[in-house]
Amino acid sequence: MSEFDFDLFVIGAGSGGVRASRMAAGFGARVAVAEELYLGGTCVNVGCVPKKLFAYAAHFAEDVEDARGYGWDLKVESFNWQRLVENKNTEITRLNGIYHNLLTGAGVTLIHGRARLLDSHTVAVGDKRFTSERILLATGGWPFVPEFPGREHVITSNEVFYLEQLPARCAVVGGGYIAVEFASIFNGLGCQTSLLYRGEQFLRGFDQGLRDHMVVTMQNKGLDLQFNAQVERIDKQADGSLLLHLHNGETLETDLVLYATGRRPKLDGLGLENTAVTLDEKGFIAVDELYQTTDPAVFAIGDVTDTIQLTPVALAEGMALARRLYRPEEYRPVDYEDLATAVFCIPNIGTLGMTEEQARAQGYKLDIFESRFRPMRNTLAGNAEQSFMKLVVDQASDRVLGVHMVGPDAGEIIQGLAVALKAGATKSVFDATLGIHPTAAEEFVTMRTPSRRD
Ligand code: FAD
């Protein structure tokens, strides 16, 4: 008999924690998972899932407009924000139930409450104490809002999914994918929307051609994009509206301010000081490539570590760790190369592998294939919006290093191409692939002449 209550005690039932718990229990380990807020974590409750549902909602206004050219005279009577939020809540509750059943069905002991480490093998949840041979920290991240006067007037992605009313005007502050997605969502739902970012241009780290295309596309949709804009102070006015004072002396009046200025690892009250766990220079839990912290009994995965902050990454890490600990013969390290990801703005962004800038920085000589075109659906719709596609190809090996797209269903299209890149596809393989006609995606296999060569 083990001297411990459990073999593995997981703190946090988010993407990574749930996957690690289920897998480890499936391999025969005695597993407990503690969760203080909601099963499924950020992704299910205040992240990927509700965000995508809102993005669907935001699309309908444009669809109704587009339908006119196809003969449909549709009239939008009204938009009911409360109904959207209620239906979203019902769906999330359903998913929470599925996660509950997945965990209990796998034999995982579910403990509700905030967990705190008492030492490397002991966790307290409320007035209960549990011992475990190993502990896994999968506590995720939390929105970060910088200090400034008027900070108390802003909301974050945690609150945006539960707003009681849709504001008439909205300002989104930030330049990452979450900021861009919410600016798109609010704009699509009919709010007068501004996006303010302190840097030169949003979506840092994405391909430059894609970023430039996105600026034009969003501006054409009526979004007010303000770059090099820093909020110094926010005043709440007598009528309840908010006045943003920018560092350049300008002001912006709005009804809601959403800060999407990054996330920090969730460590508060976790009791790390009672263990040998240390943080890295950025403040994440320091782990090695096997998710081992500096404490031999404690592991960490997902957003609480300095990894790529995406659900599939947390899932893969959870799976890899469970295998390594309890089914080592099946262990495979997570492959972080050629990662595909989407931004669910309108239209979508899909991106895979290296940007042109990254490839050049690594010394590749490149062929760049680029295409901008009006997707067929937009023709009868009388919609001038263009899609953007780009292939980054290594001249020496002919390998496709990066694939980038802005356009409807970009995420769906790029996911398929991710398999090709993982298999090492060259441009010749793309060329030898017959297209599906008529689709937008066929453009990826019909681009023949590089728009630029080194
Ligand atoms: P989380 O999912 O955050 O789970 C951590 C869990 O630990 C939480 O449930 C928390 O309550 C719990 N917890 C924390 N501390 C304690 C404690 N002391 N005791 C008990 N429980 C605790 N990723 C994508 O791949 N695609 C997307 O489209 C996407 N969209 C996003 C949109 C938004 C608005 C946000 C915020 C994130 C989005 N992400 C997206 C990122 C994705 O949600 C995260 O990368 C993922 O959830 C990380 O999983 P995790 O297991 O590390 O942490």
Q: What integer pLDDT is reported at residue 233 of this predicted model? A: 97
Best residue among 139, 334, 344 to mutate for probing ligand 1, ranked by most atoms within 8 Å of CB: 139
Residue list, ligand 1 pocket, CB within 6 Å: 11-17, 34-38, 41-43, 47-48, 51, 114-115, 138-141, 157, 178, 266, 270, 302-304, 309-312, 314
**Of all protein residues, whose CA lies closest to atom 35 belonging to ligand 1?**
47
Classify 41 as helix, strand or coil.
Answer: helix
**Catalytic: 437?**
yes
- Measured CA to CA, the distance from residue 443 to residue 410 in angstroms comes to 12
From ligand 1's centre to the CA of 127, what distance in Å?
Answer: 26
- Residues annotated in the binding site for NAD(+), as ranges? 174-181, 262
From ligand 1's centre to the CA of 274, what distance in Å?
Answer: 24
| Superfamily holding 144-261 | FAD/NAD(P)-binding domain (3.50.50.60)
From ligand 1's centre to the CA of 96, what distance in Å?
Answer: 14
H/E run at residue 104: helix 81-105
Q: Where are the beta strands (DSSP E) in 63-157?
A: 109-112, 115-119, 122-125, 128-137, 141-143
**Of all protein residues, whose CA lies closest to atom 43 belonging to ligand 1?**
43
Phi, psi of 28 (to 5 degrees): 100, 0
Q: What integer pLDDT is reported at residue 170 of this predicted model? A: 98
Residues ≥6 apart with Cβ < 8 Å to 152:
none
**Of all protein residues, whose CA lies closest to atom 3 belonging to ligand 1?**
140
From ligand 1's centre to the CA of 39, what distance in Å?
Answer: 10
From ligand 1's centre to the CA of 341, what distance in Å?
Answer: 16
**Of all protein residues, whose CA lies closest to atom 34 belonging to ligand 1?**
47
| Cβ atoms of 321 and 288 closer than 8 Å | no
Catalytic residue (choose from 100, 112, 247, 437)? 437
User: In CATH, which of 3.30.390.30, 3.30.870.10, 3.30.390.10, 3.20.10.10 is domain 340-453?
Assistant: 3.30.390.30
Helix 48-67 / helix 177-188 crossing angle, nearest 10 deg:
40
- Residues annotated in the binding site, as ranges? 52, 174-181, 262, 303
Question: Can you give the pLDDT of all 454 residues of the chain as single tens digits?
Answer: 689 999 999 999 999 999 999 999 999 999 999 999 999 999 999 999 999 999 999 999 999 999 999 999 998 889 999 999 999 999 999 999 999 999 999 999 999 999 999 999 999 999 999 999 999 999 999 999 999 999 999 999 999 999 999 999 999 999 999 999 999 999 999 999 999 999 999 999 999 999 999 999 999 999 999 999 999 999 999 999 999 999 999 999 999 999 999 999 999 999 999 999 999 999 999 999 999 999 999 999 999 999 999 999 999 999 999 999 999 999 999 999 989 999 999 999 999 999 999 999 999 999 999 999 999 999 999 999 999 999 999 999 999 999 999 999 999 999 999 999 999 999 999 999 999 999 999 999 999 999 888 8
- Measured CA to CA, the distance from residue 279 to residue 294 in angstroms comes to 9
- Tell me whether the CATH fold assigned to 6-140+266-330 matches the one assigned to 144-261: yes
Best residue among 10, 18, 23, 43 to mutate for probing ligand 1, ranked by most atoms within 8 Å of CB: 43
| Cβ atoms of 185 and 54 closer than 8 Å | yes
Domain boundaries, the chain: 6-140+266-330, 144-261, 340-453
- Residues annotated in the binding site for FAD, as ranges? 52, 303
Residues ≥6 apart with Cβ < 8 Å to 356:
207, 208, 209, 366, 368, 390, 392, 402
CB atoms within 10 A of CB 224: 16
Class of the CATH-defined domain 6-140+266-330: alpha beta
Q: What integer pLDDT is reported at residue 77 of this predicted model? A: 86
- Measured CA to CA, the distance from residue 322 to residue 337 in angstroms comes to 21
